[in-house]
Structure 1
């Protein structure tokens, strides 16, 4: 396939795990030659459900096949010196090694990173592990649910009385795989100046989901409570509600949306009812409000309500099951699903959502059987890098300039990733309409006390950026933006799809100004199709992705995960798209439009369920906190108020170890429980026994005791707990800073370390105050003189304080 941005790269994968595989898929589906090095007998994940009939009696994992499309597979035993010698010879031809072996395994193996870096200084290396290479958890046994519990993204989900809800596996793979891909590709972008090594922590990558709530908790001193299924701190009504046909996702936050929702219901007079006239009042009176609107929703289907909501600019979504999701014409028209093949099996699965319109990813494709290739038969390849990068070398994106027109969470988190790697990010706001993450309520102290400079979330999302203000409704302000675009490498926005085109600043217009520009747009449903005008929050995107339909227990409503998942996943997806655009730009000298749909960015999270539906014609029942392979598996109450621990048993040995810790020799000796199949039949009884033990012990003590015994276990942390988590403190995840208006506060770090460093990159620039860098940017980049800048300030085209022009609603941008 021509014009794929990574077609000049050769990548090797060692180890096992879906995070490794997803990171590698991003390379292979965008053209790189990816060689998967599997152990004798093949990767164990080939045998994980859902299984498909691949012909000749072979049963292969459909999910594994999707993760490994367009790759090669070779067999090598890394405990044998002859095989290791062949792998070393292969790596001598590779640009990159992605290694998912455990941190404790690599230094004691026949293939260490220290040796490789000495022998092959031009080889880039990315090590992926659950908790990184240092810190208290680095050698912990873990699973998706255990890692998520420790990342603060489990405890707030579910019924008030508990237990917290454990999501399905596969979501960490996407977040951590993308988080690994971004610095890795940045290093390859700069590979002529030296190869780099990164060590990536999946746990820290997942903190990008919980950091919003951590910031909120640090700001107000407490964490919002776990309220109920589909009830969380976003106002009311927010959640999934039954209709005449199907479930409707609703997110009502702003006064304008409440007014529109009342119109939708045919009850405009409801808007001014005192008990419902603001978000807090609606939350406090949610039962009375539910009793009013729920019977009305039963008069129409979810699809009908959704289409009415588009006209009213309401954040609504149909919440599809997997069968409905696969049939939705919007996704089909945008090419969001395509065939995966392995052997004779063929089924649909999500396509990578980084829609580079000039160099689209391969639409899935064929996955190899284990050992389909041999090292000796691989074609020749010459890598570019000849030396290692040193700590004195500039960061890999130094010299790139990105014009950041984004607001809120998703877009700013994308550009934050680029700023962390050295790119010059120029964030453009206006005094009339600052970034809505500076606050959405302009009443009270907002203007006189400059509340908009004191919001924690804004500080988190906008580190390592410069900030200017331009009134884009003024022709002069728009002209200055065009001048910035003319000299930039990329521009990104997350406005609704129609905003910039109405201003004459669509992708085509920007490319007339600068043909080499990478233009990223990321509205909720992309720039094309009948849903392009849908307004959305992160919750809307989760609803539309179908994820709630596979989360929770049978009989419960489609269950949301109580975090605006669309924002952090959309952010890292957009950052990966930017890096792919930069690679294409470097290879060809040309820019292109990247049409990222924030909803499609969530489809990889439901890939296992989509594949099961497509391959078998049905989706398995929702199993709550249980697991299709691990038994027992769940989140159990501990000593204290609302204290919980997640425990997973992956093997019979781990089961016996759990029984020993619980002092239950009777269970260990019970032959009926000796195998996973036997334990599955007695899971209710086993869970009662576990609860009897866990309720007598503190969660951290239970975790440490079980980990010492080799059993995966993790405390269900609150977001507020993360600021004092001993592992995160040891690895330097929280960087203490102080800033005008904010005072001392903590900021999160990147989820990776370069080289053998124990600490992350230091934050070099705190989030800008409004218009902080106006003079610097306008003078040094656009060449304006002092008199010109003074005139711009006098006419309020630029400024450094917010202007109360009119009451405004928060833009529903993602």
Structure 2
């Protein structure tokens, strides 16, 4: 007999009452461009968000582009992108009356989010309302040696290690045109708020959540931040692919009407796709049978070791180039769907908006706001689809539109959590049970969030289909073994491992018993593969009526691209990130790696938390159809609105910024050594001009500097190129100019700010004694993350899971092993 349907975990995790639905939460948003995405995520889930603006309105209202290119507080497209559906109140926090108004609202709020835009005494607000959760977003966190450093999106990206990995090898590292760093931080902040709210449901108490944008953006290094402690080679930047052991592995190819990404990578996970691609090339007459019949699982290892001549790899690249060069992006995408190939056309924002997949799923929200456009315009909608209808957000608020009604609409209420200090402060998800049927990055990282905060997470693999992250660099001591991959350790810390052949009859029985055991199931099979394994939610909800299940894949379970198989770098191509990263005079350059895999887990996790809370209140489970591409496109929402409102297609612009100059990455002494520098205002520029010994330039305004950008960049580069990155950084920070050395893994591993936050942690491992992983990117003041286990070796906990969790006796376990149901 297997276990009874789940429920005990949830009973211990959430109390009853009317304070569990996300749509009862009240959120105060005191942020600027660094944080408005956080409250927007909660708003999308149903929270009531009050945007607190200073007289004259949020500073974001002054940011372009503007609707119709007419500057106006209500026409800022960044403001529209990040604030639709919120309510606006104007409070002058520089006055005692304003501070009292904020205190009155905070007494009624559940969450307050700030990013340094205004001065606020968070501790005092929590003292007045002990159930209040406060969240701070900053460049480097609220304490530590760099906490007070001036910073911009570019300089924090330099500090994260991700910047150095993106761009052409013969030019400076390059950012994405639409700034990304603080969006990563804001998404983490939303998750942190939900984790703290989950804990509050048990203790009745609030706490503080601290978010460092540096640490949030480090997720986008794809665990290459760990190369130094793993004694692995450092990633080398190149725009069209990867340099591995000195060999150029090309990923981007020109095609008839632009560029496409072809995942011509190696190892067992990629071998079937490469073989099918080469078979197509043979049909075109570009190669013979000998290339088709290569041993593709071992091909990369043989090339990198010298056993197979590098010329063989060069020939493969020539063959792929011929397949692509005379076909359009649309033709190559259709071939990817028909032939199951790893091809991702690099889409412009026009092509993103017009992709029929989004329309077929009803992803876009048609927004009516005549101040922005005479007709409704499209904006990102829900990235998770359920049986419930999506609640449209509507337009963004006018300045102070809801000031008079805000307090009245938030009456004081008595929270129904446990009684204050008498309640124990346990990990937020202690007792919650999660079944993880995912692999690579997006799904496993979503599940790791639960493990970090106390849940029991079972990660299922099979010898026939191991987690593909096990085959991804960097490797411990540069030895490519299954237990050596840094990204596998990083994505799966704190989990238990079960080896299970889910396609076997015995494996199916075990899977059903795991479904009965679990509160949450996360899977990332293709829609066809999911149904072939019997993972049909209508069947599973009979086994466990309270099961919350998420299917996560690139484009969701329905629509013309539902069967599109691939990785996060392909989704990043199709939703616009690749086209907007690089230099205007060259082809697309990135961003590095499986970029949507770093964005989508934050949205998936927040949706799962909302569904679990609803399951606890109603006693019914929920099925979530989650499309990673739909979540990720939110990080390009400004560029999307510029197209849907202004019919302007955003383009890549290198490191140039429309409002700041200087704003670039400049050379320093040493090979591939750089420092990022930006001036946000005229005062910072005057300080920099003085440091450069150019008082004659000190009085240039921002618009004058932008018109002389080439001259300004040459002047700054002349100064930085005679100094080390650290020397330049020290001098620039000393005079109040945002700057940071562009770090790689060794610099990250020894960074005093990251050390202060305990970012790198050593945890036990059954094979290696211990390994290094990155800690949770969130700091909760009362219930911090406690990673207790390293990522498990393959099948490490199989017997324990079957006997202790599912109640099998040893005879049954032996039968499963002998039948091949267990690996």
Would you say same fold, with TM above 0.5? Answer: yes
Confirm whether residue 488 of structure 1 aligns to residue 500 of structure 2. no
| Deviation larger for 249-258 or 120-129 | 249-258
Confirm whether residue 713 of structure 1 aligns to residue 722 of structure 2. no
- Alpha-carbon separation, structure 2, partners of 1:420 and 1:554: 42
Match of 1:240 in 2: 252
SS at the partner of 2:24? coil
SS at the partner of 1:498? helix
SS at the partner of 1:526? coil
Match of 2:333 in 1: 306
What is the Cα deviation at residue 342 of structure 1? 4.6
Alignment of 1:530-545 (within 5 A): 530-545=560-575
Match of 1:367 in 2: 396
Alignment of 1:297-696 (within 5 A): 297-342=324-369, 344-346=371-373, 348-359=377-388, 361-374=390-403, 375-380=406-411, 382=413, 384=415, 393-439=425-471, 451-668=481-698, 671=699, 674-696=700-722
Cα shift readout 1:529-559 (whole Å, capped 9, x = no counterpart): 1211111112111111121222222232123
C-alpha distance 305-206 of structure 1, shift in aligned 2 (>3 A): same
| Deviation larger for 391-400 or 684-693 | 391-400
What is the Cα deviation at residue 439 of structure 1? 3.3
What is the Cα deviation at residue 724 of structure 1? 1.6
Q: Is this contact kept in 1: 2:440–2:469, CA < 8 A? A: yes
Alignment partner for residue 76 of structure 2, among 53, 61, 65?
61
Q: Is this contact kept in 2: 1:204–1:751, CA < 8 A? A: yes
| Deviation larger for 83-92 or 780-789 | 780-789
Cα shift readout 1:740-763 (whole Å, capped 9, x = no counterpart): 322343211111212279xx5331
What is the Cα deviation at residue 232 of structure 1? 5.2
SS at the partner of 1:214? helix
Alignment partner for residue 192 of structure 2, among 152, 162, 183?
183
Q: Is this contact kept in 2: 1:47–1:59, CA < 8 A? A: no
What is the Cα deviation at residue 146 of structure 1? 1.0
What is the Cα deviation at residue 678 of structure 1? 0.6
Alignment partner for residue 206 of structure 1, among 200, 217, 231?
217
Match of 2:51 in 1: 36
What is the Cα deviation at residue 297 of structure 1? 2.5
- Alpha-carbon separation, structure 2, partners of 1:300 and 1:161: 29
C-alpha distance 353-388 of structure 1, shift in aligned 2 (>3 A): farther
- Alpha-carbon separation, structure 1, partners of 2:416 and 2:189: 20
SS at the partner of 1:368? coil
Alignment of 1:10-409 (within 5 A): 10-18=26-34, 20-52=35-67, 60-101=75-116, 109=119, 111-192=120-201, 193-194=203-204, 195-216=206-227, 218-231=229-242, 238-253=250-265, 254-265=270-281, 266=284, 267-269=286-288, 272=291, 278-279=299-300, 284-285=310-311, 289-342=316-369, 344-346=371-373, 348-359=377-388, 361-374=390-403, 375-380=406-411, 382=413, 384=415, 393-409=425-441
Alignment partner for residue 807 of structure 2, among 768, 783, 794?
783
- Alpha-carbon separation, structure 1, partners of 2:273 and 2:280: 10
SS at the partner of 1:7? helix
Cα shift readout 1:209-259 (whole Å, capped 9, x = no counterpart): 115212345434320222344445598764333322343221122232222
SS at the partner of 1:248? strand
- Alpha-carbon separation, structure 1, partners of 2:323 and 2:821: 47
Q: Is this contact kept in 2: 1:485–1:514, CA < 8 A? A: yes
- Alpha-carbon separation, structure 2, partners of 1:440 and 1:367: 43
C-alpha distance 682-474 of structure 1, shift in aligned 2 (>3 A): same
C-alpha distance 31-275 of structure 1, shift in aligned 2 (>3 A): closer
What is the Cα deviation at residue 682 of structure 1? 0.7
SS at the partner of 2:704? helix
Q: Is this contact kept in 2: 1:469–1:770, CA < 8 A? A: yes
C-alpha distance 128-28 of structure 1, shift in aligned 2 (>3 A): same
SS at the partner of 1:46? helix
What is the Cα deviation at residue 165 of structure 1? 1.0
Over aligned residues, Cα RMSD in angstroms? 2.9
- Alpha-carbon separation, structure 2, partners of 1:173 and 1:329: 30
What is the Cα deviation at residue 395 of structure 1? 1.1
| Deviation larger for 360-369 or 340-349 | 340-349
C-alpha distance 79-312 of structure 1, shift in aligned 2 (>3 A): same
Q: Is this contact kept in 2: 1:101–1:129, CA < 8 A? A: yes
Match of 1:6 in 2: 22
SS at the partner of 1:335? coil
What is the Cα deviation at residue 345 of structure 1? 1.6
Q: Is this contact kept in 1: 2:471–2:480, CA < 8 A? A: no
- Alpha-carbon separation, structure 1, partners of 2:134 and 2:177: 30
C-alpha distance 657-383 of structure 1, shift in aligned 2 (>3 A): farther
SS at the partner of 1:732? coil
SS at the partner of 1:366? coil
Structure 1: runs of 5+ lacking an equivalent: 800-814
C-alpha distance 401-46 of structure 1, shift in aligned 2 (>3 A): same
| Deviation larger for 781-790 or 491-500 | 781-790
- Alpha-carbon separation, structure 1, partners of 2:777 and 2:84: 26
- Alpha-carbon separation, structure 2, partners of 1:486 and 1:683: 63
Cα shift readout 1:357-386 (whole Å, capped 9, x = no counterpart): 134543442110111111444342525266
User: In the comparison of the two structures, how many residue pairs are matched?
Assistant: 779
SS at the partner of 1:118? helix
- Alpha-carbon separation, structure 2, partners of 1:428 and 1:480: 11
- Alpha-carbon separation, structure 1, partners of 2:460 and 2:104: 49
Q: Is this contact kept in 1: 2:178–2:580, CA < 8 A? A: no
What is the Cα deviation at residue 39 of structure 1? 1.0
Q: Is this contact kept in 2: 1:210–1:719, CA < 8 A? A: no
